[in-house]
A and B are shown apart, each in its own frame.
Chain A
Amino acid sequence: MASYRTPLGRARGLGAAKHGVGAWIAERVTAVALVPLVLWAVFAGLRLAATDYYGAVEWLTSSALNPVLMGLFVIVGFMHMHAGLRVVIEDYIEKHLTRAGLLLLNLFACSLIGALAVFSILKVALGGAY
């Protein structure tokens, strides 16, 4: 039987889905964490651009701070990239299957590439490279 209720009428009374706010907060929390991390990363980038392979390895192995902050920058940065592009996809892609596919691609790409980057930093920092 056809429903004569409007979409608004159906939605009314159901209330909010009650899980939207988590993603919104996560985007803000990662944003706050990235403020100091990005400023640090700019200085790190300046140091790294002025040196070669051996200098970069030295930079990652000479202290605990550099690999830890670089690892945190990658993790928080990729979480924020995921959260940000997720909102962009949700805003502009209406077609259900395309939207779902792109949302999954965004999540998987950020997870895989972020994990590869963190693993690489740890490998160099813990002495796998020379």
Chain B
Amino acid sequence: MTDAPRERPLSPHTTIWRWHLTMATSILHRASGCALYGGGLILAIWAMTLAAGPEAYGTFKAVMGSFPGKIVMFGLTLATFYHLAKGIQHLIWDAGHGYNLKTATMGAIATIAFAIAATLAVWIIAAMTGAL
């Protein structure tokens, strides 16, 4: 066995491709997914502190309600809606549709617009219902 693997270019080919919207949003899809991994851990901590009792849950709420906690939650809201919208575009692509250049770019724009609009809507509702 002398055939050691050769150096191969790795996807995504960021060094040879000009940046474009569908590429950037696909990379952001992966990045937001990784961020939501952290969100899943926060969800688990929510459940565990709730099961642990009022004191632990009070600490959890205090940390999440602090300014850095709110920044994290705002980012996770944005990541959630972004990953949701882009994920739907990926599911459409997996089904074999939407590869037309114009359609794909429109989907990317719709994804960004939806993520921002939905995040703002949720945080406005949060402010109005006393969730902040």
Residue ranges of A at the interface with B (Cβ–Cβ < 8 Å):
2-3, 5-7, 10, 28, 31-32, 34-35, 38-39, 42, 46, 48-50, 52-54, 56-57, 60, 70, 73-74, 77-78, 81, 84-85, 88, 91-92, 113-114, 116-121, 123-124, 128-129
Are A124 and B51 also in contact (CB < 8 A) when A31-B87, A38-B80, A88-B30 are? Answer: yes
Contact A42 B48 (CB under 8 A): no
Contact B50 A124 (CB under 8 A): yes
Contact B94 A81 (CB under 8 A): no
In terms of DSSP, what is the predominant structure of the interface of chain B?
helix
Contact A117 B3 (CB under 8 A): no
* Interface flag for B84 (CB, 8 Å): yes
Contact B2 A2 (CB under 8 A): yes
Contact among A5, A7, A49, A116 for B44, CB-based, below 8 A: A116
Task: Note all chain A residues with C-beta closer than 8 A to B30.
Answer: 88
Q: How far is the CA of A53 from the CA of B10 in the complex (A)?
A: 48
Encode B20-43 as 1/0 by CB contact (under 8 A) with A.
Answer: 000000000010011011001101
Q: List 22 A-B contacts (CB under 8 A).
A: A3-B3, A5-B3, A7-B5, A28-B91, A28-B94, A31-B91, A35-B88, A42-B77, A42-B80, A42-B122, A46-B129, A52-B61, A53-B50, A73-B43, A84-B37, A85-B37, A92-B10, A114-B44, A117-B48, A118-B47, A120-B47, A120-B50
Our count of residue pairs bridging A and B at CB distance below 8 angstroms stands at 106
Contact among B34, B84, B94 for A38, CB-based, below 8 A: B84
* Interface flag for B57 (CB, 8 Å): yes
Contact B5 A81 (CB under 8 A): no
Contact B40 A77 (CB under 8 A): yes
* Interface flag for B116 (CB, 8 Å): no
A49-B64, A117-B47 known; 11 other A-B pairs, CB under 8 Å? Answer: A3-B2, A35-B87, A46-B129, A49-B126, A52-B58, A52-B61, A53-B50, A73-B43, A88-B34, A116-B44, A128-B51
Task: Note all chain A residues with C-beta closer than 8 A to B91.
Answer: 28, 31-32
Contact B44 A74 (CB under 8 A): yes
Task: Note all chain A residues with C-beta closer than 8 A to B44.
Answer: 74, 113-114, 116-117, 120
